[in-house]
């Protein structure tokens, strides 16, 4: 099973990494586990958006042609209140 180090999506400072194991499916991988620096699998704690971010990071690393097609929807952004 392939593995790749990614930025920990639960770390607000993006200083920690997680070891992500995955099944290599196209167009995006199926994440199987995300092991943090303490050896715990945090996959169950991740939202769908966080898992998509890990998938995108792996896709970009491996040079998949157009991983950005769905990236605009990877993270929900709260809009500013209407004036």
pLDDT tens sequence across 30-77:
999 999 999 999 999 999 999 999 998 888 887 665 545 545 444 444
Contact between residue 21 and residue 41 where contact means Cβ atoms under 8 Å apart: no
Whole-model pTM: value is 0.72
| Count of the separate structural domains present in the chain | 1
Residue 79: is its pLDDT beyond 50?
Answer: no
Contact between residue 12 and residue 49 where contact means Cβ atoms under 8 Å apart: no
What residues make up the domain containing 44? 3-73
| Residue 11 belongs to a domain | yes
pLDDT tens for residues 9-23? 999 898 999 999 998
| Residue 79 belongs to a domain | no
| Residue 34 belongs to a domain | yes
| Residue 21 belongs to a domain | yes
| Residue 40 belongs to a domain | yes
| Residue 52 belongs to a domain | yes
pLDDT at 46 (0 to 100): 94
pLDDT at 5 (0 to 100): 94
């Amino acid at each position: 099973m392939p593995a790749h180090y990614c930025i920990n999506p639960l770390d607000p400072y993006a200083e920690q990494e997680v070891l992500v194991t995955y099944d290599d499916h196209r167009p995006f991988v199926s994440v199987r586990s995300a092991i943090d620096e303490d050896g715990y699998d945090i996959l169950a704690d991740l939202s769908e958006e966080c898992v998509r971010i890990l998938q995108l990071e792996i896709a970009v690393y491996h040079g998949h042609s157009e991983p950005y097609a769905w990236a605009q929807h990877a993270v929900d952004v709260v809009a500013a209140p209407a004036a």
